[in-house]
């Protein structure tokens, strides 16, 4: 397991739980607005010298049995890690909950993890309308996207979908099509794009004004059970 970083405690990333986060390395998408190209592009990942040995992570976890409820495995795309299943099993053997953040490109792996009861919560990115993504993401598989949505919606475990809203690329007019893709979802989070270094250097997306997000939320609520704006 490539562990590029550990956040020792968070109250925000696993709803209702105290957790730690581990960050992996590598991603199979290329979102132009990605703020983390150093952990996404293979030529940049090669430059990372200090991956954290698994042993250090598990030794840390042993000291947090009474403090943490769970472990969030996230960024950049954990399902690319070949030993993810064994890694989740080790965490579960220590009686911690496991939350997985995924970009949806590997539904086969998701399915396997769900069948083996290795996940307790899944968060999946809804990038936008998957028939019109070319201006935001290079290289993606639409079929896999719909397979992952179905898996999450049909699973018994808790989960959420979430979208980062980007002015200049996303509009209210198109949003209904986006949220229809996850009709019936229990939880949907909207978050505002934040300016920063991007994978596409001249990316010209901007943040929405806070009150503009409420219009998106109102549309979403026609299709999902609960929609929350993350500020």
- Measured between alpha carbons, how far is residue 195 from residues 128, 161, 202, 210, 215 in Å? 19, 22, 12, 15, 21
Q: Which of residues 19 and 24 has its CB atom nearest to ligand SF4 in the complex?
A: 24
Q: Which of residues 58 and 138 has its CB atom nearest to ligand SF4 in the complex?
A: 138
Tokens found for residue 54: 């698994």
Contacting range for ligand SF4; rule: CB under 6 A; set: 13-21, 28-36, 116-124, 181-189: 28-36
Among 1, 2, 20, 34, binds ligand SF4 (CB under 6 A): 34
What's the rounded Cα separation, in Å, for the pair 42 and 118? 28
Among 4, 24, 36, 192, binds ligand SF4 (CB under 6 A): 36
What's the rounded Cα separation, in Å, for the pair 28 and 80? 8
What's the rounded Cα separation, in Å, for the pair 228 and 231? 9
In sequence order, the β-bridge partners of residue 161 are 124, 188
What's the rounded Cα separation, in Å, for the pair 70 and 68? 6
- Measured between alpha carbons, how far is residue 44 from residues 22, 48, 166 in Å? 19, 7, 26
What's the rounded Cα separation, in Å, for the pair 191 and 32? 17
Q: Is 29 in the site for ligand SF4 (CB under 6 A)?
A: yes
CB of 136 to ligand SF4, least distance (A): 9
Q: Is 40 in the site for ligand SF4 (CB under 6 A)?
A: yes
Contacting range for ligand SF4; rule: CB under 6 A; set: 7-15, 26-34, 200-208, 210-218: 26-34
CB of 34 to ligand SF4, least distance (A): 3
Near ligand SF4 in 63-92, by CB under 6 A = 75-77
Residues that bind ligand SF4 (CB under 6 A): 27, 29-31, 34, 36, 40, 75-77, 103
């Amino acid at each position: 397991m490539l562990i590029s970083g550990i956040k020792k405690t968070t109250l925000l990333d696993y709803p209702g739980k105290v957790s730690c986060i581990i960050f992996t390395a590598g991603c199979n998408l290329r979102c132009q607005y990605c703020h983390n190209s150093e952990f996404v592009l293979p030529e940049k990942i090669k430059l990372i010298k200090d991956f954290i040995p698994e042993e250090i992570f598990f030794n840390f976890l042993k000291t947090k049995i009474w403090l943490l409820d769970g472990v969030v495995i996230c960024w950049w795309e954990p399902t690319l890690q070949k030993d993810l299943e064994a890694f989740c099993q080790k965490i579960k053997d220590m009686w911690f909950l496991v939350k997985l953040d995924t970009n949806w490109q590997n539904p086969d792996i998701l399915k396997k993890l769900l069948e083996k009861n290795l996940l307790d919560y899944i968060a999946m990115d809804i990038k936008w309308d998957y028939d019109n993504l070319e201006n935001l993401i290079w290289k993606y598989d639409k079929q896999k996207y719909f397979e992952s949505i179905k898996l999450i919606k049909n699973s018994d475990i808790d989960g959420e979908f979430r979208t980062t809203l980007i002015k200049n690329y996303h509009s209210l007019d198109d949003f209904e099509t986006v949220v229809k893709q996850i009709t019936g979802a229990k939880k949907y989070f909207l978050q505002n794009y934040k300016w920063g270094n991007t994978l596409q250097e001249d990316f010209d997306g901007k943040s929405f004004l806070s009150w503009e997000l409420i219009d998106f939320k109102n549309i979403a609520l026609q299709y999902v059970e609960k929609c929350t704006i993350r500020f």
